[in-house]
Amino acid sequence: MPTKGKQYDNESISSLKGADRVRKRPGVIFGSDGLDGCQHAVFEIMSNAIDEAREGHGELIIVTRFADHSIQVEDFGRGCPVDWNEKEGRYNWELVFCELYAGGKYDAEGENYEYSLGLNGLGSCATQYASEYFDATIYRDGFEYKLHFEKGENVGGLQKTPTDRKKTGSIFRWKPDLEVFTDINIPAAYYADVMKRQAVVNAGVTFRFRDEVDGKFATQDFRYENGIIDYVTELAGEKSLTAPVFWQTERRGRDREDKPEYKVKLSVSFCFSNTVQIIEHYHNSSWLEHGGSPEKAMRSAFVSAIDGYLRAQGKYQKNESKITFNDIQDALVLVSNNFSTQTSYENQTKKAINNKFVQDAMAEFLRAQLEVYFIENPFDAEKIAEQVLVNKRSRESAEKARLNIKKKLSGTVDIANRVQKFVDCRTKDTERRELYIVEGDSALGSVKLSRDAEFQGIMPVRGKILNCLKADFGKIFKSEIITDLMKVLGCGVEVQNKHVKDLAAFDLMNLRWNKIVICTDADVDGYQIRTLILTMLYRLVPTLIERGYVYIAESPLYEITYKEKTWFAYTDKEKNDIVNGELKGKKCTINRSKGLGENEPDMMWLTTMNPETRRLIKVMPEDAELTSQIFDLLLGDNLQGRKDHIADNGYKYLELADIS
C-alpha cells in the first residue's frame, strides 16, 4: 500500500510574493540560476543605460567589475525617476526596484523610448531582488537620490539631498547573491564581449570597462563611430572580396491582421570574403545568439537574389542543382542591427525573436537591395557569383566523396533517418560530440528535453538487449538494437565473422563521438541494462573501452532536501554522510530519486548531462583479459564459478545494500 502524502486541498495553493518571486525561481526570469543567469542580470541593468544613450542622453557608459564579484554600472542619462509619483500614489523607486512589470517603457505612445532594449519592466527589480545588496545613486533635478537594498528589501528609504553636480545620470552597484545563483564569478571576458557588441550596435557611444585586479583598475574602451559598417570592415580585414556596404530603411506593419501596427528600423552591413565568415544579428541592441526572424529573412533573401542572378547570367551548368545558403554563408560577413517598437522575444533572455513582420519586411528589403546592388556593381556581382559557385561545387564534391566512403565503411548513407529513434546533435566536430545510450522511449523523451542539442545525441535501446556473451554472432547481428547502435557509433566492429554483413571492419578514425555515455536508472534493472550494454561494447568494440571513450552517467539515488536546498547522494554511504554530517540533527526530507523518464528537464540536465555538474565514470579497464574473465564469470554459463565468486567477494558490497 502506498503511504499517504501531505493533504492536497484548497489550503495547499500558495503564491510567491515580493523578492521570493525572483529569489526562489531565478531561472524563470534570468533563464538560469547559474552563471548565465547571473550574467543576464548584469545585462538587464546595462540595458537601461543603453536605452538612455540611444535616445541621445549620454555618450558614455562605465561598467566596473570589482574583485569581490560586485558590479557597478554608471551612465550619464537623465537619471532614473525615483521621487513621488502622483498618478500612481507611490514612490517611483518602489515601482522601478520593487515591482515586476513596471517602468517607463509602457506608455502607449512610446514617448520615452521608441526602440527599447528593456521592454518587460523586469530588469532593475529582478536584479535588485537577486542581490546580496543593491545600491542606487541617481542625479537629476538638482538632487542626489540614494537607495540601499539588502536581499530584496529596502533599508532606510529614499535619501534625497541637493547637489552641485551638473551631470545627470545613474550609478548602480550590487553584488549577486550566492543564495540565488550557484556561481557569481563573472569572468572579465564576458564584460568585454558584451560591451564590444553593444558598442557595435550603438554608434558613437563609448563603453568603458574597468576591471579590478590586485587593487588596481585596468580600463578598456569600446567605440564604433559608424556602428556596424565599421565592425564589418574590422571583421573582414583588408582582403575582402567586396567593399562593405550599409543599408537602412524603416517600415510599418503588423504580425497579423488583428494585431496592432508597429514600426521597424532595419540596418544591415555586409561584404563577401574568401577568408572570413561571420554572421551576427542584433535587435534593439540585444545580440540574437539564436537568430530567429532576421536570420530566416537574411537566408531567404540572399539565396533568392543570388540564385536569380546566377540564372539570369547563365552561370549554372546543365542540370546543376540550386545553391543553398551554406554556399553563401562560407563567404559572407554580415551584421544586422534592427529595432522595432514591438518585439516578440522567444523568452526573457532575448536570444531570438519571432516577429513575422520583421522577417517579411527584412526579407523583402534585402531582396530588392541586392537586385539593385548586382546591377550597379557588376564587377562585385561577378566575384560574388564565382565565389558562391566555387563553394557550392567544392561542397558537393566533398559530400559525394564523404558519402562514398561512408557507404563503403558502414553500409548506410543517412544514419539519422535509417536508425529508428536515434536523435543526432548539431555539431559535426567529433571532438565535442557525446552519445547518450538510454533505455526506452520514456528516458529518450526526458533526455531529449534535458540535453544540449548542440553536442549531445541520444540512442535508445528497446528492452533487454541480447546478452552478448551468451548469444552467438548469428543472433547478435540479427538484432536491430545492436546493429543500429553500431551504425550510430560509425567505427565498425572488431569481429570477423560471416554474419557481419552491413557493418564495416573496425576503424577508430571513423568513430563519430568523443564520449559514449551509458545512462540508466540507479536501480537493479538499470544496473542490469548497463552491464548488458557494457558487455556488448566489450565484445564488439573493446578498443573503445580500452581507449577511454566509454563512460557511465551516475544517476543520484537520493534527493535530500532541507530548507529549499537539495543535496544529491549517489550511494547509501553518501546519503548517510550527508544526513549525519552537514545535516546532522536537522529535519530533512529524503526521497528516492525518480527514474530518468520521470525527471524534470532542469533536474536531468543538472545531475546527468551538464558537463559542469554531472558525474561520469570512465570505463577504462587496466587489463582487458581480466575484464573479459569477470564478464564471462558474471554473465556466462559457469554457474558454479559465479556462486564461488559471490561467496568469496560478496561481503565487499554489503555496505551498498539497501537494508532499510
Residue with cell 536546498: 565
State the helix-helix crossing angle for 293-312 and 356-376, rounded to 10 degrees: 30
Strand positions, DSSP E, 273-385: 278-283, 286-287, 332-340
The grid coordinates listed for 91 are 514612490
Phi, psi values for residue 478, rounded to 5°: -95, -10
Give Cα separations from 331 to 46, 244, 275, 279, 647 (angstroms).
Answer: 34, 13, 7, 10, 68
The grid coordinates listed for 532 are 548488458
The helix/strand/coil state of 431 is coil
Who's near 502: CB < 8 A, 6+ residues apart? 410, 411, 412, 483, 487
Residue with cell 544586422: 336
Number of helices (H), then strands (E), belonging to the chain: the values are 21, 24
Give Cα separations from 543 to 219, 455, 491, 506 (angstroms).
Answer: 52, 23, 10, 9
Q: Using alpha carbons only, give the angle 382, 388, 394 rounded to the nearest 5 degrees.
A: 130
CA distance 358 to 263: 9
DSSP state of 234: H
Q: Is residue 75 annotated as a catalytic residue, yes or no?
A: no
Who's near 516: CB < 8 A, 6+ residues apart? 434, 435, 437, 489, 537, 544, 549, 550, 551
CA distance 602 to 113: 36
Q: Is residue 86 annotated as a catalytic residue, yes or no?
A: no
Asked if residues 140 and 92 have their Cβ atoms less than 8 Å apart, the reply is no
| 87-114 burial code (b ≥16 CB/10 A, e <16) | eeeebbbbbbbbbbebbbbeeeeeeebe
> Which residue in 59, 399, 525, 644 is the catalytic one?
525
> Which residue in 523, 572, 574, 577 is the catalytic one?
523
> Which residue in 52, 132, 434, 439 is the catalytic one?
439
Q: Is residue 521 annotated as a catalytic residue, yes or no?
A: yes
The grid coordinates listed for 128 are 535588485
> Which residue in 33, 280, 307, 521 is the catalytic one?
521
Q: What residues does 17 pair with on adjacent strands?
A: none
Radius of gyration of the chain (CA): 30
Q: Is residue 36 annotated as a catalytic residue, yes or no?
A: no
Active site residues: 439, 521, 523, 525
